[in-house]
A = this chain, B = another copy of it.
Amino acid sequence: MNSLRGACVIGQSGGPTAVINSSALGAIQAALQDERITRVLGAAHGIEGVLNERLYDMSCEDAAELERMKHTPASALGSCRYKLPDWRDDCTDYERLLTVFRKFGVRYFFYNGGNDSMDTCSKVSRFLADAGYECRVIGIPKTIDNDLAGTDHCPGYGSAAKFIATSCMEIAQDLQVYDQGRVTIVEIMGRHAGWLTGAAALASYMGSGPDLIYLPETVFVLERFLEDVERVYQLRGKCMVAVSEGIRDAQGRFIADAGTGGCDVFGHVQLGGLSSVLADIVKTQLKLKVRGMELSLLQRCASHIASRTDMEEAYWAGQTAVEAAVAGHTDKMVTFQRDTNQGGYVCRTGLADLASVANVEKLVPREWINVAGNGVHQELIDYIMPLIQGEIAMEREHSLPRFAKLRKVLAQPLDS
């Protein structure tokens, strides 16, 4: 079973991160070196590239450019948010996929993404098994949200957390400058899980951060929020708030829903504009000067301040996926386990069943959030801190990042 020979496809899916390309590189380089893997194909825009037969031949890439993927943010191969239907309802996509896999001799499929991508990965895996087509399918975790189940943490999270913590420290310094008070509301990504917003607490821990932190794991009560802000303002003459875009009221309605209200293809409500909504409420109700701001896309793409730990672990996750597959594993996602027995932080890899992680969201434990729901406990800080450690040595040109420039040569089918 270990000697399965064939091509592999590596796909990137969902929202990009600062280090998702490091995972792709880990998988690509491991696959290029393994003699059981006959061809290394990169899918253009994830599963869409498979369905459209747009697969890049990664062996055509310049080795030095490939290496630069380690420090290039966003998905170098392209991503997608395409949701595969259940194959029992509609098997068109699956049969197309099988046709393409046969045409290119694909026996290994690596898919790098978050909850939704693990769902895709799991469906592909089960369909191929059902169809009797031997193909090893391994998911590589990725998400700045850090909400994937079955793993201690996700590649992508550490770098986003480091950007958020550093930015909040810098913003807090900026806010101390004037004598006149102001309320500043910083909106942070994270639809249902508060891991990213929780990273703002690292800034406070370092002595320069938000006074109040609201995670989506607790019910957001507007009256209590206004009381909190007023109390801090009376005490300090100013107030800095970090708040998750995904906070909801007791009825489960997003506070940001005054915004667009549109939905993405997965049925997620499109968020944004929460900081303006809250700023407006503070201004009207408390009659205070207020500024709302978002950290926006930089949370997932600020590779210049990526965590070295995160970047290295991301690479390792990709590499582990290939090693696991050639060793005979399939229908799994690579996981990280944290070992703190020796006092320090040690990360080990493992494997979890794809079906057990697909579509499951891992939230911040309630006991890591304070009772009032406006701050976090030391446990969360201790959890995040090891993940942001280390600086990267990015290649620069004119003191600006030098990103990977891939040739993206389309691969031809076996019989062409």
Contacts and interface: CB of A to CB of B under 8 A. Distances in A.
Interface in A147-181: 162, 165-167, 169-171, 173-179
A390 to B, nearest CB: 6
A297 B293 contact: yes
Contacts of A403: 169, 173, 207-208
A170 B293 contact: no
A1 interface: no
Given A294-B294, A298-B170, A398 B405 contact: no
Interface stretch (A74-82, A99-107, A214-222, A332-340): A74-82
A146 interface: no
A68 to B, nearest CB: 12
A379 interface: no
B171 A301 contact: yes
Interface stretch (A114-122, A303-311, A360-368): A303-311
A389 B385 contact: no
A401 B401 CA distance: 21
A399 interface: yes
A265 to B, nearest CB: 10
B178 A78 contact: yes
A296 interface: yes
Contacts of A376: none
A302 B167 contact: yes
Nearest to A166: B304
A326 interface: no
A235 interface: no
A202 B399 CA distance: 11
A79 B78 CA distance: 45
Nearest to A14: B177
One complex includes copies of this chain to the number of: 2
B399 A48 contact: no
A216 B81 CA distance: 37
A207 B74 contact: no
A89 interface: no
A55 to B, nearest CB: 15
A79 B45 CA distance: 49
B401 A385 contact: no
A373 interface: no
Contact of A307 (B45, B74, B399): B399
Contact of A179 (B48, B167, B399): B48
A178 B79 contact: yes
Contact of A169 (B165, B296, B391, B400): B400
A302 B405 CA distance: 27
Contacts of A177: 16, 74-75, 78-79
A203 B208 CA distance: 31
Nearest to A49: B179
A398 B206 contact: yes
A81 B178 contact: yes
Interface in A362-398: 385, 388-391, 396-398
A324 B175 CA distance: 32
Given A169-B403, A296-B294, A391-B399, A305 B307 contact: no
A162 B400 CA distance: 8
Give the residue among A202, A296, A403 with the most B Cβ atoms within 10 A. A296
A112 interface: no
A297 B171 contact: yes
Shortest beta-carbon contacts, A-B, top 3: A74-B173, A174-B301, A170-B301
Given A388-B399, A388-B400, 11 more contacts: A45-B179, A78-B178, A79-B177, A169-B400, A170-B302, A171-B301, A174-B297, A276-B276, A293-B296, A385-B398, A391-B396
24 contacts: A45-B179, A48-B179, A73-B170, A73-B173, A73-B174, A74-B174, A74-B175, A166-B304, A167-B298, A169-B403, A170-B298, A170-B301, A170-B401, A171-B297, A173-B403, A174-B297, A174-B301, A202-B400, A293-B296, A294-B294, A385-B398, A388-B398, A389-B399, A390-B399
